[in-house]
Structure 1
């Protein structure tokens, strides 16, 4: 593979590593492309590879029948497959699939586990990231249980905005309804309400963020806690 230069990477986990710690992973990192809706980790199958996301996003979703409801989101801040591997679960009941196509650096599970066994810095970073992801999942449960659809949509748009460049998000009403676990008509109405209030602008297959602060005001505390934990435990470490 071409030499992976740490300074040119987008993945925030890899960028915070000291050069000597990054060097332990570097020989095993392989660039891969993730296609829209590609399943990167299937439910109840052994996790053979983990993915440091460079661009794009991967959803962690329930896998009951054909219905999927998103419980977690991983972008350039994270590592796909971190929770089951760190907790020695080997498999997961969730499905991980590309919500937005992009690029990643994959690493085999055995090579990754060997590295974290040998290197306490890598192990600590992984466990801190797993904590952040668990906090994100609990905040998602809170949002689903207690918030209006508009508030849940605002939170989700903010999370996607954090993981992309620019203010335009490539999203369809159909996809939003699947991720939020509601009918498409409900998502359409929520988008219209956010647009009418000047928070977003809806285009064909795209949503433009116009006012983050006014979106944040709708989230009732469900957005921001995982992000603050990430800053405290990982980027502030």
Structure 2
């Protein structure tokens, strides 16, 4: 199926009916505090799926999730996943690894949001999104990026301007183009490398 920006795939505290496996889109997993704006806690690309609580044995979760970068995804019913899990031990193994990688991502995001400057976090976020989309160019508004980073829109405008002036990105009309991924990686906080290394380690790990 095709997913557009803001299409919601999970609603907090509501039964999860379908799981989405991104092909070239990116999903945002969001956390909300009463009276405050939602903040992104993780992104989901072609390495994973939405609806991990279903695999873990629950029918709902405390997070919203919606499409951040448009593209295609595969959709599977929650009941369908349970049928596959009953038949296929290999799927259990893959999803256990993905659960571990997601826990590392969530923990690192907490530390990153607390300790690192907006410019470093922005560079990390752009690199992670580039990895998940599999392309150097993707749509992104300043409003959306501000929500993802948990900062004001004016802060995003200044930060993106710094990265653009340095020749790392081009940002025009809601489109991001990564011009120098190596420079962007040098600017990003160490969290990008830590999370990337964990996903690579789990991908390369031998079958149990």
**TM-score with structure 2 setting the length:** 0.92
Return the offset for 1:235: 4.5
Distance 2:105 2:29 in 1: 11
Helix, strand or coil at the partner of 1:71:
strand
1:72 correspondence with 2:32: no
Q: 1:113 matched to which residue of 2?
A: 82
Return the offset for 1:69: 0.9
1:198 correspondence with 2:173: no
Distance 1:174 1:220 in 2: 22
Distance change (3 Å), C-alpha of 1:233 and 1:190: same
68-77 or 117-126, which deviates more: 117-126
Helix, strand or coil at the partner of 1:76:
coil
Return the offset for 1:131: 0.8
Extract unaligned runs of 5+ from structure 1. Answer: 1-31
**Selected match of 2:130 from 148, 161, 165:** 161
Q: 1:181 matched to which residue of 2?
A: 150
* Contact 2:121-2:189 at 8 Å conserved across structures: no
Distance 2:189 2:9 in 1: 32
Q: 1:41 matched to which residue of 2?
A: 10
Helix, strand or coil at the partner of 1:223:
helix
Return the offset for 1:227: 2.1
* Contact 1:86-1:130 at 8 Å conserved across structures: no
**Selected match of 1:91 from 44, 49, 60:** 60
Distance change (3 Å), C-alpha of 1:131 and 1:75: same
Q: 1:151 matched to which residue of 2?
A: 120
- TM-superposition CA deviations, 1:191-218 (whole Å, max 9, x none): 1111122221221111211111221122
Distance 1:125 1:166 in 2: 25
1:104 correspondence with 2:82: no
Return the offset for 1:236: 4.6
Provide the aligned C-alpha RMSD in A: 1.5
**TM-score with structure 1 setting the length:** 0.81
Deviation above 6 Å: which 4+ runs of structure 1? none
Return the offset for 1:98: 0.5
